[in-house]
Every structure is written in C-alpha cells, then in structure tokens.
Homo-oligomer: A and B are copies of this chain.
Amino acid sequence: LADTEASMLENVVFASFVFYSTLLILKMFAIAVITGQVRLRKKAFANPEDALRHGGIQYFREDPDVERCRRAHRNDMENIFPFLFLGAVYSMTEPTLLVARIHFQVFFVGRLVHTVAYLCALKAPTRSLAYTVAQVPCVSMAVQILIAVAAYW
C-alpha cells in the first residue's frame, strides 16, 4: 500500500511539478534569510527584544529595504502557495508532459524574475510583467482543473 505514494513521484508530470515547486520554496526561504541579513545590516528589527540584543531599543524600527524584502516574500505567498495546490491537482488531470512542463517552467521563470525585480528595485513594469506572466499558467491550470471536476460540485 505504501507504493501508492511512491508511484505519485513516478508520474513524470507530478515529478516535474515537484522539482520546480521545491526550488521555488527554497527561493522563498532565501528571501527570509536575506530579510534577516538586511535587518542586521540596517539595524532595523521587528521586535523590541531583537533590538535590545542588537544595540538598543532605538533599532526597533522599520526600514525601507526590509519592507521591500517583506513585500517580495508576501507576494510569493500570495502566488507560489496557490501554485503548490494548482500544480499538484493539474498533474492529476493527465496533461501531456510537454504542455505541463511549459506551465511549470513559465511560472518558475516568472517568479524568479519577479523576485530579482523586487529585491533589486528594477524599473517598472519589470516586476508587474513577471507577476502577470507567472499568473497565466496558474489561471490556465485552474481552468483545466475546473473542467476536469466540473461534474463533482
């Protein structure tokens, strides 16, 4: 019976989805690390107890570079977390590997560019374009999922 789950990873579409999803989660973890580094460098802490440990209560304050990291992180939550669901279920609808991989890769590259554009404050509308490009495969997967389960509401 334990073979049931192992066999999910033997589904090449699902395995491809897992590959890009896991990289994107690691990318999110990297933003968290960067946020912490910027907090230390700019001496801007979210909590009094952190500020006290790093020089004094005056460092319990906001900083524009920290807020930028936090916005990038939040936007990832708003978009990458839904992808984790949509991609997994879409993999169950038996798409062709080629089409599925295009969905996953467009999302992956779009979100990578989004992060770089956010953290480096690239000229608008680079970031918005990356966001929009990454949304296309998400909406496409959502529609295909709805078609697949439309009979089951």
Contacts and interface: CB of A to CB of B under 8 A. Distances in A.
- Chain A interface, >50% SS class: helix
Interface residues of A, number: 69
A106 to B, nearest CB: 14
Given A81-B81, A123-B49, A142 B5 contact: no
A113 interface: no
A11 B5 contact: yes
Interface of A: 1-2, 4-16, 18-23, 25-26, 28-29, 32, 46-50, 52-54, 68, 71, 73, 77-78, 81-82, 84-86, 89, 91-94, 118, 121-125, 127-128, 135, 138-139, 142, 145-146, 148-153
